[in-house]
Amino acid sequence: MSDEAIEQEPLKPQFAEEWEKNPMRKPKLTALIINASVGESGPRYEKAKEILRQITNREPVERVAKESVRGFGIRKGEPIAAVVTIRGEEAGVMLKRFLYAYDYIVKAESFDQQGNFAFGIREHVDIEGAPFDPVLGTIGFNVVVKLERPGYRLKYRQRKRKKVSKKHLLTPTEAMEYVRTEFGVTIE
C-alpha cells in the first residue's frame, strides 16, 4: 500500500455496511498483551514488575530465559521478563491509554497478516495517568493487540476443535478500519 492510499482511506469506511449486515464479520478486541523484557533478573526486573503492576492493576507473570547466554550473564531458568494479559472491556480502556502515548497514530507496518498489531512504549510515564515513582524509575515495554472475529473459539476450544475457514480470517485492511472506527486511530 502506498502512503497516499492509506491517508485517503479514513474518509470512507469500506466494511461498515458488511459489519452491520453480518455481526459475525465485525472484528473485536480479544486481548492486550503487555511485555516488559528487562533481560536480567534482580532489582531492575523487580522494578519493572512493580511498574507493570501499578499501570495495569494486575499481577505480572514472569517469563524465564530459555537458554543461558554467557555474554549477557543470563542463566537458563532465570526470570528476565514480565507479562500481563488483559481481556474484555478493560482491554479497550487500557488500549486507549496506551494509544494516547502515540497521539493515536499507528503505522501500517505494525499490522500482521492476521490483523493483529503491536507497538512499543519507550517510557511508561508517556501513558495517560501512569504513576511515576523516582525510586522505581521508568521502563519501556511492548504492547500487542490481538484482534479477531466472533467464532474464532472453534480454533481454541478443547472439544471438537476445528479450523477457521480462510473467508472468516481477519485481514490487515479490516483490522485497520476497525481500529480507526472504534478507537479513533490514524494509520500512517
Q: pLDDT tens for residues 89-135?
A: 999 999 999 999 889 999 999 999 999 999 999 888 888 777 788 88
Produce one character per residue of 1-38: b if its CB has 16 or more CB atoms within 10 Å, e if not: eeeeeeeebeeeeebeeebeeeeebbbbbbebbbbbeb
- Residue 4 has a pLDDT of 52
As to burial, measured by CB atoms within 10 angstroms (0-12 exposed, 13-18 middle, 19+ buried), residue 70 is: exposed
Full-model pTM? 0.85
What's the CA gap between 157 and 170, in Å, rounded? 19
- Residue 8 has a pLDDT of 45
pLDDT band at residue 10, thresholds of 50, 70 and 90? very low
In this structure, what C-alpha cell is assigned to residue 81? 521478563
What's the CA gap between 129 and 26, in Å, rounded? 30
Domains, the chain, ranges and CATH?
Answer: 3-187 (3.30.1440.10)
